[in-house]
C-alpha cells in the first residue's frame, strides 16, 4: 500500500471516530476528560491536520469511552476501498 492510501485510510478512521463521538452526543472535551487527557490530546489525534499519529492503543481507548467495538472505526475505511478484482483474460 502506498503512502497516499495509508493517509486516506487514516483520515477515514479519524472521521469514523469523530462520527461516533457525535453519535454519542459528546464533545471532544468530554471524551478527553473520560479518557483522562486534556482536550488538546484529542485534537492532536483527530483534528483535520493531526500532529500526532493515532495508535491502536488510542483507538482502543476511544472505543472504550464510546462503548463501541474498535473494529467499527475501520468499517468506513474498509467500505470506501475499491476491492473489486477484474478476472477477465487479457
What are the chain's domains? Answer: 3-79 (1.10.260.40)
Report the chain's mean pLDDT, rounded to a whole number.
84
Q: Minimal CA–CA distance to 58: which of 48, 40, 70, 74?
A: 70
The yes-or-no verdict on residue 90 having pLDDT over 80 is no
Over 70: is that where the pLDDT of 64 sits? yes
Reported as a single tens digit per residue, the pLDDT across 34-53 is 999 999 999 999 987 888 88
Helix (H) or strand (E) holding 61: helix 56-66
The sign of the torsion formed by the CA atoms of 10, 13, 19, 20 equals: negative
pLDDT above 80 (res 78): no
Amino acid at each position: 500500500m502506498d503512502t497516499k492510501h495509508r493517509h486516506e485510510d487514516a483520515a477515514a478512521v479519524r472521521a469514523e471516530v469523530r462520527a461516533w463521538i457525535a453519535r454519542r452526543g459528546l464533545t471532544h472535551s468530554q471524551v478527553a476528560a473520560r479518557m483522562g487527557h486534556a482536550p488538546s490530546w484529542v485534537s492532536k489525534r483527530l483534528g483535520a491536520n493531526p500532529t500526532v499519529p493515532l495508535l491502536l492503543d488510542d483507538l482502543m481507548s476511544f472505543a472504550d469511552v464510546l462503548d463501541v467495538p474498535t473494529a467499527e472505526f475501520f468499517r468506513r475505511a474498509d467500505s470506501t476501498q475499491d476491492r473489486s478484482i477484474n478476472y477477465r483474460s487479457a
